[in-house]
Amino acid sequence: MLQAIRSDRLYKDVSNYAMQLQTYLRHVGRDRVYVLTFEALIADPIGEMQKAYRWLRVDPKVMPPKLDEPVNVTPEAIRVARGFGLLREIANSAFYLKHFPWVPAVMRKFGSKLAFRHIARREVPTAEVEAHLRPLQLRQTEELSALLHRSFSEWTTLYATAESSGFARGQRDPSALSNGELRIVGSEQKRGN
């Protein structure tokens, strides 16, 4: 996992919200961009939707049905292709899809077991990836905060783990950010947000 993240910039850029928003902000004013985080929406779906509706000048009393029911939730175990994914490719081919109704259910089930394996997401070791990404994401979040003139305290996973390893907000030396390192500064040197 770490090798993929190091070798493909897309994995890092997908969470670089400052970089993504700068493109829009160059063309439209900040007042024309509404920022809502997933965490804020999950914590208070009705309240956050009402804020967004007011910003859009839409009646905030109008709410989608079942707003408090999660949809498209990632399952605890995900299905991944085995090996090079050859059987998955066959299963997704036009030929197989055309003949799928005539393949006995027992064979489809057996083929599925050969083609895929299930991985419990919580069992995948992520400490190495987190250690690699944390300094980068802290810097990206700092850039986003400066760009939007607001903090992102709702990103508790980023900050809680950072605080437990000594990388708390306001406790890093900004000069260390250029090379991806974070240095702890003494309490007399703390900078506030």
- pLDDT tens per residue, range 92-118: 889 888 988 898 999 888 888 888 888
Residue 109 lies in a domain: yes
The model's pLDDT over 56-71, given as tens digits with 9 standing for 90+, comes to 999 988 888 888 788 8
Residue 119 lies in a domain: yes
Residue 112 lies in a domain: yes
Number of domains in the chain: 1
For residue 82 the two structure tokens come to 């085995």
Residue 104 lies in a domain: yes
Structural contact between residues 121 and 74, judged by C-beta atoms closer than 8 angstroms: yes
Domain that holds residue 105: 77-123
Alpha carbon distance 163, 158 (integer Å): 9
Residue 13 lies in a domain: no
On average, the pLDDT of the chain sits at 79
**pLDDT class for 78, splitting at 50, 70, 90?**
confident
Residue 81 lies in a domain: yes
Backbone angles phi, psi at 23, to 5 degrees: -60, -45
> For position 161, what pLDDT does the model report?
55
> For position 150, what pLDDT does the model report?
92
> Among 57, 46, 17, 60, which residue's Cα sits nearest to residue 152?
17
Residue 86 lies in a domain: yes
Alpha carbon distance 168, 160 (integer Å): 8
* Mean pLDDT to the nearest integer, 33-57: 92
Residue 97 lies in a domain: yes
Backbone torsion region of residue 149, taken as left when φ is above 0, otherwise alpha when ψ lies between -120 and 50, otherwise beta: left
Report percent pLDDT > 70 for the chain: 82
* Mean pLDDT to the nearest integer, 18-24: 92
pTM, 2 dp: 0.62
Judged against a pLDDT cut of 60, whether residue 172 lies above it is answered with: no
Give the orientation angle of helix 127-148 with respect to helix 156-164, to 10 degrees: 120
